[in-house]
Homo-oligomer: A and B are copies of this chain.
Protein backbone atom coordinates (compact mmCIF):
# COMPACT_ATOMS: atom_id res chain seq x y z
CA UNK A 1 0.00 0.00 0.00
CA UNK A 2 2.95 2.27 0.45
CA UNK A 3 4.81 0.73 -2.43
CA UNK A 4 3.53 3.45 -4.71
CA UNK A 5 6.32 3.60 -7.22
CA UNK A 6 5.68 7.01 -8.65
CA UNK A 7 3.93 6.24 -11.85
CA UNK A 8 4.53 9.64 -13.34
CA UNK A 9 7.75 10.89 -11.89
CA UNK A 10 10.53 12.14 -14.09
CA UNK A 11 9.22 10.54 -17.19
CA UNK A 12 11.20 11.34 -20.31
CA UNK A 13 12.42 14.88 -19.98
CA UNK A 14 11.49 16.78 -16.90
CA UNK A 15 7.84 17.28 -16.03
CA UNK A 16 5.99 15.11 -13.55
CA UNK A 17 2.38 14.39 -12.75
CA UNK A 18 1.09 14.94 -16.25
CA UNK A 19 -1.73 12.60 -17.09
CA UNK A 20 -1.00 9.85 -19.57
CA UNK A 21 -3.60 11.19 -21.95
CA UNK A 22 -1.94 14.59 -21.98
CA UNK A 23 1.51 13.13 -22.50
CA UNK A 24 0.21 11.06 -25.39
CA UNK A 25 -1.20 14.15 -27.08
CA UNK A 26 2.04 16.03 -26.58
CA UNK A 27 4.21 13.19 -27.87
CA UNK A 28 1.86 12.42 -30.74
CA UNK A 29 1.85 16.07 -31.78
CA UNK A 30 5.61 16.16 -32.07
CA UNK A 31 5.81 12.89 -33.94
CA UNK A 32 2.86 13.53 -36.24
CA UNK A 33 4.37 16.91 -37.13
CA UNK A 34 7.72 15.32 -37.79
CA UNK A 35 6.77 12.16 -39.65
CA UNK A 36 3.19 12.65 -40.81
CA UNK A 37 0.22 10.49 -39.96
CA UNK A 38 1.46 7.44 -41.81
CA UNK A 39 5.05 7.79 -40.72
CA UNK A 40 4.23 8.13 -37.04
CA UNK A 41 3.91 4.81 -35.24
CA UNK A 42 1.88 4.12 -32.16
CA UNK A 43 4.88 2.46 -30.64
CA UNK A 44 7.10 5.51 -30.98
CA UNK A 45 4.38 7.77 -29.63
CA UNK A 46 3.82 5.52 -26.66
CA UNK A 47 7.52 5.25 -25.99
CA UNK A 48 8.03 9.02 -26.03
CA UNK A 49 5.02 9.47 -23.76
CA UNK A 50 6.33 6.81 -21.38
CA UNK A 51 3.11 4.95 -21.85
CA UNK A 52 2.16 1.43 -22.75
CA UNK A 53 1.49 0.46 -26.35
CA UNK A 54 -2.15 -0.12 -25.56
CA UNK A 55 -2.54 3.35 -24.06
CA UNK A 56 -3.39 4.98 -27.38
CA UNK A 57 -6.24 2.62 -28.05
CA UNK A 58 -7.44 2.77 -24.48
CA UNK A 59 -7.56 6.56 -24.30
CA UNK A 60 -8.48 7.43 -27.89
CA UNK A 61 -9.92 4.33 -29.50
CA UNK A 62 -7.52 4.29 -32.41
CA UNK A 63 -4.64 6.15 -34.01
CA UNK A 64 -6.85 8.29 -36.21
CA UNK A 65 -8.92 9.56 -33.31
CA UNK A 66 -5.69 10.45 -31.54
CA UNK A 67 -4.67 12.48 -34.57
CA UNK A 68 -7.92 14.42 -34.53
CA UNK A 69 -7.55 15.03 -30.83
CA UNK A 70 -4.01 16.30 -31.34
CA UNK A 71 -5.13 18.62 -34.10
CA UNK A 72 -8.02 19.92 -32.01
CA UNK A 73 -5.60 20.57 -29.18
CA UNK A 74 -3.32 22.35 -31.60
CA UNK A 75 -6.16 24.54 -32.86
CA UNK A 76 -7.28 25.67 -29.44
CA UNK A 77 -3.67 26.32 -28.47
CA UNK A 78 -3.19 28.54 -31.51
CA UNK A 79 -6.51 30.27 -30.87
CA UNK A 80 -5.60 31.30 -27.36
CA UNK A 81 -2.10 32.37 -28.34
CA UNK A 82 -3.26 34.31 -31.38
CA UNK A 83 -6.84 35.51 -30.91
CA UNK A 84 -8.68 36.97 -33.91
CA UNK A 85 -7.95 40.49 -32.71
CA UNK A 86 -4.22 40.38 -32.84
CA UNK A 87 -3.28 42.69 -30.03
CA UNK A 88 -4.32 45.92 -31.68
CA UNK A 89 -6.36 48.61 -30.00
CA UNK A 90 -9.65 49.85 -31.39
CA UNK A 91 -7.90 53.08 -32.33
CA UNK A 92 -5.28 51.36 -34.43
CA UNK A 93 -5.03 52.50 -38.02
CA UNK A 94 -5.50 49.98 -40.82
CA UNK A 95 -1.77 50.21 -41.49
CA UNK A 96 -1.01 49.28 -37.91
CA UNK A 97 -3.48 46.43 -38.09
CA UNK A 98 -1.82 45.11 -41.21
CA UNK A 99 1.61 45.30 -39.66
CA UNK A 100 0.36 43.55 -36.53
CA UNK A 101 -1.26 40.86 -38.66
CA UNK A 102 1.91 40.24 -40.63
CA UNK A 103 4.10 40.32 -37.56
CA UNK A 104 1.86 37.92 -35.69
CA UNK A 105 1.63 35.52 -38.62
CA UNK A 106 5.38 35.55 -39.16
CA UNK A 107 6.18 34.89 -35.53
CA UNK A 108 3.55 32.17 -35.33
CA UNK A 109 5.11 30.48 -38.32
CA UNK A 110 8.81 31.08 -37.82
CA UNK A 111 9.52 31.39 -34.12
CA UNK A 112 11.51 28.30 -33.19
CA UNK A 113 12.02 29.28 -29.59
CA UNK A 114 8.81 27.56 -28.55
CA UNK A 115 7.34 24.16 -29.43
CA UNK A 116 6.93 24.28 -33.16
CA UNK A 117 4.84 21.24 -33.84
CA UNK A 118 1.52 23.06 -33.80
CA UNK A 119 2.56 25.10 -36.81
CA UNK A 120 4.12 22.22 -38.65
CA UNK A 121 1.13 20.01 -38.03
CA UNK A 122 -1.26 22.65 -39.33
CA UNK A 123 0.93 23.28 -42.36
CA UNK A 124 0.84 19.58 -43.06
CA UNK A 125 -2.91 19.50 -42.79
CA UNK A 126 -3.17 22.48 -45.16
CA UNK A 127 -0.90 20.90 -47.72
CA UNK A 128 -2.52 17.46 -47.57
CA UNK A 129 -5.89 17.72 -45.94
CA UNK A 130 -7.59 14.96 -44.03
CA UNK A 131 -11.17 15.15 -42.88
CA UNK A 132 -9.98 17.50 -40.15
CA UNK A 133 -9.34 20.40 -42.51
CA UNK A 134 -12.98 21.47 -42.30
CA UNK A 135 -12.65 22.01 -38.56
CA UNK A 136 -9.45 23.91 -39.06
CA UNK A 137 -10.96 26.21 -41.65
CA UNK A 138 -13.99 26.83 -39.49
CA UNK A 139 -12.08 27.58 -36.30
CA UNK A 140 -8.82 29.11 -37.51
CA UNK A 141 -8.34 29.84 -41.17
CA UNK A 142 -11.81 31.20 -41.85
CA UNK A 143 -11.62 33.81 -39.10
CA UNK A 144 -8.02 34.60 -40.02
CA UNK A 145 -8.86 35.25 -43.66
CA UNK A 146 -11.97 37.12 -42.59
CA UNK A 147 -9.92 39.40 -40.41
CA UNK A 148 -7.44 40.06 -43.19
CA UNK A 149 -10.30 40.77 -45.57
CA UNK A 150 -11.54 43.52 -43.29
CA UNK A 151 -8.09 45.03 -42.95
CA UNK A 152 -7.41 44.96 -46.67
CA UNK A 153 -10.81 46.45 -47.45
CA UNK A 154 -10.04 49.26 -45.05
CA UNK A 155 -6.82 49.86 -46.92
CA UNK A 156 -8.14 49.88 -50.47
CA UNK A 157 -11.03 51.91 -51.76
CA UNK A 158 -14.44 50.44 -52.37
CA UNK A 159 -13.72 50.68 -56.07
CA UNK A 160 -11.93 47.43 -55.51
CA UNK A 161 -13.92 44.34 -56.39
CA UNK A 162 -13.71 41.07 -54.54
CA UNK A 163 -11.16 39.61 -56.90
CA UNK A 164 -8.72 42.42 -56.23
CA UNK A 165 -9.28 42.17 -52.49
CA UNK A 166 -8.61 38.46 -52.59
CA UNK A 167 -5.55 38.86 -54.76
CA UNK A 168 -4.05 41.38 -52.35
CA UNK A 169 -4.87 39.14 -49.39
CA UNK A 170 -3.19 36.21 -51.06
CA UNK A 171 -0.18 38.32 -51.95
CA UNK A 172 0.20 39.20 -48.28
CA UNK A 173 -0.43 35.71 -46.93
CA UNK A 174 1.86 34.22 -49.53
CA UNK A 175 4.76 36.44 -48.59
CA UNK A 176 4.42 35.43 -44.94
CA UNK A 177 3.89 31.71 -45.37
CA UNK A 178 6.65 31.34 -47.93
CA UNK A 179 9.29 31.56 -45.24
CA UNK A 180 7.76 28.55 -43.52
CA UNK A 181 7.02 26.46 -46.58
CA UNK A 182 10.42 27.00 -48.16
CA UNK A 183 12.44 27.14 -44.96
CA UNK A 184 14.62 24.16 -45.80
CA UNK A 185 15.46 25.50 -49.24
CA UNK A 186 16.15 29.01 -47.94
CA UNK A 187 18.33 27.58 -45.24
CA UNK A 188 20.34 25.52 -47.72
CA UNK A 189 20.62 28.27 -50.33
CA UNK A 190 21.27 31.30 -48.14
CA UNK A 191 22.18 29.90 -44.72
CA UNK A 192 19.57 32.13 -43.17
CA UNK A 193 18.38 31.66 -39.59
CA UNK A 194 15.14 33.20 -38.40
CA UNK A 195 15.83 34.73 -35.02
CA UNK A 196 13.43 37.26 -33.50
CA UNK A 197 15.26 40.28 -34.90
CA UNK A 198 15.29 38.82 -38.41
CA UNK A 199 11.57 38.09 -38.17
CA UNK A 200 11.03 41.64 -37.03
CA UNK A 201 12.82 43.01 -40.09
CA UNK A 202 10.98 40.60 -42.35
CA UNK A 203 7.62 41.78 -41.07
CA UNK A 204 8.61 45.37 -41.74
CA UNK A 205 9.68 44.48 -45.25
CA UNK A 206 6.48 42.62 -46.06
CA UNK A 207 4.36 45.44 -44.69
CA UNK A 208 6.19 48.09 -46.73
CA UNK A 209 6.20 45.90 -49.80
CA UNK A 210 2.49 45.28 -49.55
CA UNK A 211 1.46 48.81 -48.67
CA UNK A 212 3.66 50.16 -51.42
CA UNK A 213 2.14 47.74 -53.86
CA UNK A 214 -1.41 48.64 -52.97
CA UNK A 215 -0.60 52.31 -53.04
CA UNK A 216 0.98 52.04 -56.45
CA UNK A 217 -2.00 50.14 -57.71
CA UNK A 218 -3.79 53.42 -57.10
CA UNK A 219 -6.27 51.87 -54.80
CA UNK A 220 -4.93 52.80 -51.44
CA UNK A 221 -7.62 54.59 -49.53
CA UNK A 222 -5.62 56.64 -47.09
CA UNK A 223 -2.34 58.09 -48.31
CA UNK A 224 0.48 56.23 -46.66
CA UNK A 225 4.11 57.21 -46.52
CA UNK A 226 6.65 54.98 -44.98
CA UNK A 227 9.39 56.75 -43.17
> What is A's interface to B at a CB cutoff of 8 Å?
35-36, 38-39, 123-124, 126-129, 133-134, 137, 141-142, 145, 163-164, 166-168, 170-171, 173-179, 181-182, 184-186, 188-190, 192, 201-202, 205-206, 208-217
Contact = CB atoms under 8 A, between A and B. Distances in A.
Q: Which of A35, A142, A201, A213 has most B Cβ within 10 Å?
A: A213
A99 B168 CA distance: 17
8 pairs of A and B residues whose beta carbons are closest in the complex: A212-B216, A174-B178, A213-B213, A209-B213, A38-B38, A174-B174, A174-B175, A212-B213
A128 B190 CA distance: 18
B179 A181 contact: no
Contacts of A39: 36, 38
B184 A129 contact: yes
